[in-house]
Chains A and B, each alone.
Chain A
Amino acid sequence: MSNERSAETPIVEVRNLLKFFPITSNSIFARAKGDNKAVNGISFALQPGETLGLVGESGCGKSTAGRTLLKLYEPTSGQIFFKGEEITNYSPRKMKALRTKMQIIFQDPYSSLNPRHSIGEIIGAAFAIHGMGVGADSQSSRSNSGKGGIKRAVQDLMERVGLNPEHYNRYPHEFSGGQRQRIGIARALALKPEFIVCDEPVSALDVSIQAQVINLLDDLKDDFGLSYLFIAHDLSVVQHISDRVAVMYLGKIVEIAPTEEIYQRPHHPYTKALLSAIPIPDPVLESAREQIVLSGDLPSPSNPPTGCVFNTRCWKAQARCFSEEPLLHVVGKSEVACHFPE
């Protein structure tokens, strides 16, 4: 029985995850003035081989959610599971061993690469840190034994992500933003992880390259049985790569549904507005359709609205939306946190 269940064990699961960042005053006797409630109670499970898209505007907590579940940030409360094992309170040492299995591709290819290291060093660092390729660990040395082995492995990776392997000794500043993002992807792939948090991995890339990378991520997923948490603000990209999509707003998941469903039948008003804001690359369709242009910005996550978090920008908000917080409930094939779903 337990063996059967293990096949269905989610690769990653979070339960009621909270991540608050304290806001302190400038005084030297810094006292917390409040909390930036970046992630305010989210739960989801990711099955092996599945891609969950996590979308929302900047400041909605999607990146924080991704980093917290990798324990790059200590969660404020809640539980994190990796392959059924709770890792919420893992020590840094235990986490380090686990990090070969869980990787991240960062959003900003400028600040995530050390400008003083050649890209060979940057990508090869993963092997060095985890003792691979120095011959010390017979199991992991594989074909990477010795410096030449690492170089060859790194160059294979570079080629795989669309970089010229001859650029092994170049420095990050010699690459375009798009190419730098590929370096970051190569680095994440180096240790053949099982789960990757892709934090806006293609938003810095050109369309033709973006398509290559989406296809590449797709291929790698199939070849290595990877699972992705794919964080992005671009819903058309997410649509292509995800099996399910979760929409975040102000630290909460407001809608989670299979991809087809969320694009064809969005139930939450925010999801609807988000979808309508995406420009369609067709001038005829684009001028014909009606756009919902939301007014205003995201409210401050340190002081989220009471009731529904979206009530300040929602055109359907009624008295109940200001007094009672809607919880995720099943509507059709989706789960929606709205009192008046579409």
Chain B
Amino acid sequence: MSFLDVNDLRVEFPTSDGVVRAVDGVSFSVDRGETLAIVGESGSGKTVTNLALMGLLSPRASRISGSAIMHQPSGDVELINLPSEQARKIRGKNIAMIFQDPMSSLHPYYSIGDQIIEAHQIHNEVEHEVSKARAIELLEMVGIPEAATRMRAYPHQFSGGMRQRVMIAMALVNSPELLIADEPTTALDVTVQAQILKLLRELQRDLKMAIILITHDLGVVAGAADRVNVMYAGKVVESAPVRELYANPLMPYTHGLLSSVPRMDRSHGTRLSAIAGQPPSLIALPPGCAFAPRCTFSTRVNGGPSLCASTMPPLVEHAPSHFARCHLEGAKL
């Protein structure tokens, strides 16, 4: 059963230049034990979607609408526009988050032990010693050697990969049901990335938690996700099980993304097929498909490029649980 149901989530940031529609009607659900990858370029709204779920957007700077229902045995909880007092109770307990940059998300003045203990103490009325034991247990679980000793160490004494392990330990200290991992390995080296992804896979298997994996790396997605949402200009433009998406991308943007990745299993020296142009400004989005100006397939659409430019295509199920937002007949690329 699903743990989280997001429905028509919208996030707007009023700026002096106009309203930025960062997230524009996003719906998805995440099951327990499932990994949902959200893929997109910078500015596509993948991070803002999750910051909204976590209640981490300032109500003064943003306007959030829509709903995100977290299913609990005690009843459903609406996460959107939750009073900050209640959001704080959920954050770090039911839903935890790890960030891209483990250096700036750890406090440099506190030992990593104290930081993990604090995360545990906030949500549990237990003795300090209990939290300390839990922190050591977690550090061992994420593969930090001599965990009890390393508790006293400070973030700067750790390498990037070890810091990310500390972040993961801190996120998991309250056994969250959903872990939002926002580009968790982007700042890491490939050999360390492989370690961290393996760790996340094992932890997910053992703890049965859901993971929302935000990334731009289609290689990471291929190995880690069950289901993929591709986002573009604040909208989900394609959603499919991972194998289906890679084998049969239906939306030209996804197709373009997949073919623009440099791949080691292809011969070198071949030119990458880049997607021309840039993502549109979120302030002045065209009325139609946001990808239309960069799309090479729009001429093949019944009704021509003018249809793409004027009308936003709906998210349609073209194959079992494979949704795409494209005017192309049967979405045949």
Q: Chain A interface (Cβ within 8 Å of chain B)?
A: 57-59, 162, 164, 176-178, 206-212, 214-215, 218, 233-237, 239-240, 242, 259-260, 263, 273-287, 291, 293-295, 297-298
Q: Is the interface of A mostly helix, strand, loop or mixed?
A: helix
**Chain B residues with CB under 8 A of A218:** 271
Taking a contact as CB atoms under 8 Å apart, the answer to whether B263 and A280 are in contact is yes
B212 at interface, CB cutoff 8 A: no
Top 5 nearest A-B pairs (CB, nearest first) are A279-B219, A211-B260, A211-B274, A206-B41, A211-B272
User: How many angstroms between the C-alpha atoms of A54 and B192 in the bound complex?
Assistant: 18
Known: A211-B262, A283-B222, A286-B222. A176 touches B43 (CB 8 A): yes
Known: A206-B41, A207-B218. A283 touches B264 (CB 8 A): no
Taking a contact as CB atoms under 8 Å apart, the answer to whether B264 and A236 are in contact is yes
* Residue in chain A with minimal CB distance to B258: A281
**Chain A residues with CB under 8 A of B195:** 293-295
Known: A215-B271, A263-B264, A280-B219. A208 touches B243 (CB 8 A): no
**Chain A residues with CB under 8 A of B43:** 176
Taking a contact as CB atoms under 8 Å apart, the answer to whether A277 and B262 are in contact is no
Q: Which of B65-73, B126-134, B154-162, B308-316 contacts A (4 or more CB under 8 A)?
A: B154-162
Known: A209-B41, A278-B190. A237 touches B222 (CB 8 A): no
Instruction: Report B165 CB to chain A, min CB distance, Å.
Output: 10
B191's contact among A273, A285, A286, by CB below 8 Å, is which? A273
User: How many angstroms between the C-alpha atoms of A185 and B205 in the bound complex?
Assistant: 43
Taking a contact as CB atoms under 8 Å apart, the answer to whether B223 and A286 are in contact is yes
* Residue in chain B with minimal CB distance to A206: B41
* Residue in chain B with minimal CB distance to A298: B159
Known: A211-B273, A263-B268, A283-B243. A58 touches B219 (CB 8 A): no
Pairs A–B under 8 Å by Cβ, sample size 26: A57-B192, A176-B42, A207-B217, A208-B260, A208-B274, A209-B278, A210-B260, A211-B261, A214-B262, A215-B272, A218-B271, A235-B190, A236-B261, A236-B263, A236-B264, A240-B272, A242-B268, A274-B191, A277-B190, A279-B223, A280-B222, A281-B261, A282-B265, A293-B195, A293-B198, A297-B162
**Chain A residues with CB under 8 A of B257:** 207-208
Taking a contact as CB atoms under 8 Å apart, the answer to whether B271 and A233 are in contact is no
Taking a contact as CB atoms under 8 Å apart, the answer to whether A215 and B274 are in contact is yes
User: How many angstroms between the C-alpha atoms of A192 and B209 in the bound complex?
Assistant: 53
User: How many angstroms between the C-alpha atoms of A233 and B195 in the bound complex?
Assistant: 15
Given A211-B261, A237-B262, A282-B246, 9 new contacts (CB under 8 A): A59-B159, A209-B278, A215-B274, A233-B190, A242-B268, A279-B193, A283-B223, A286-B222, A297-B161
User: How many angstroms between the C-alpha atoms of A215 and B271 in the bound complex?
Assistant: 7
Taking a contact as CB atoms under 8 Å apart, the answer to whether B268 and A260 are in contact is yes
User: How many angstroms between the C-alpha atoms of A210 and B220 in the bound complex?
Assistant: 16
A178's contact among B42, B243, B268, by CB below 8 Å, is which? B42
User: How many angstroms between the C-alpha atoms of A275 and B264 in the bound complex?
Assistant: 8
**Chain B residues with CB under 8 A of A279:** 193-194, 197, 217, 219-220, 222-223
* Residue in chain B with minimal CB distance to A203: B186
B190's contact among A240, A259, A274, by CB below 8 Å, is which? A274
**Chain B residues with CB under 8 A of A215:** 271-272, 274
- B234-269: which have CB < 8 Å to A? 242-243, 246-247, 256-258, 260-265, 267-269
Taking a contact as CB atoms under 8 Å apart, the answer to whether B42 and A58 are in contact is no
Taking a contact as CB atoms under 8 Å apart, the answer to whether B268 and A239 are in contact is yes
User: How many angstroms between the C-alpha atoms of A178 and B41 in the bound complex?
Assistant: 9
* Residue in chain B with minimal CB distance to A216: B274
B216 at interface, CB cutoff 8 A: yes
User: How many angstroms between the C-alpha atoms of A57 and B263 in the bound complex?
Assistant: 19
B216's contact among A57, A206, A263, by CB below 8 Å, is which? A206
* Residue in chain B with minimal CB distance to A295: B195
* Residue in chain A with minimal CB distance to B260: A211
Taking a contact as CB atoms under 8 Å apart, the answer to whether B263 and A281 are in contact is yes
User: How many angstroms between the C-alpha atoms of A263 and B189 in the bound complex?
Assistant: 18
**Chain B residues with CB under 8 A of A209:** 41, 274, 278
Taking a contact as CB atoms under 8 Å apart, the answer to whether A280 and B264 are in contact is yes
* Residue in chain A with minimal CB distance to B281: A164
**Chain B residues with CB under 8 A of A281:** 218-219, 221-222, 246, 258, 261, 263
**Chain A residues with CB under 8 A of B197:** 279
- B187-207: which have CB < 8 Å to A? 189-195, 197-198
**Chain B residues with CB under 8 A of A208:** 41, 256-257, 260, 274-275
Instruction: Report B260-300 CB contacts with A as 1/0, cut-off 8 Å.
Output: 11111101111111111010000000000000000000000
A277's contact among B191, B258, B273, by CB below 8 Å, is which? B191
User: How many angstroms between the C-alpha atoms of A281 and B262 in the bound complex?
Assistant: 9
User: How many angstroms between the C-alpha atoms of A20 and B272 in the bound complex?
Assistant: 38
Instruction: Report B159 CB to chain A, min CB distance, Å.
Output: 5
- Residue of B160, B219, B242 ringed by the most chain A CB atoms within 10 A: B219
**Chain A residues with CB under 8 A of B264:** 235-236, 239, 263, 275, 278, 280
- Residue of B43, B222, B262, B263 ringed by the most chain A CB atoms within 10 A: B262
**Chain B residues with CB under 8 A of A275:** 264
Taking a contact as CB atoms under 8 Å apart, the answer to whether B192 and A207 are in contact is no
- Residue of A208, A239, A273 ringed by the most chain B CB atoms within 10 A: A208
Instruction: Report B280 CB to chain A, min CB distance, Å.
Output: 11
Known: A208-B41, A239-B268. A297 touches B192 (CB 8 A): yes
Instruction: Report A45 CB to chain B, min CB distance, Å.
Output: 21
Instruction: Report B299 CB to chain A, min CB distance, Å.
Output: 20
User: How many angstroms between the C-alpha atoms of A293 and B247 in the bound complex?
Assistant: 27
Taking a contact as CB atoms under 8 Å apart, the answer to whether A297 and B274 are in contact is no
User: How many angstroms between the C-alpha atoms of A215 and B278 in the bound complex?
Assistant: 15
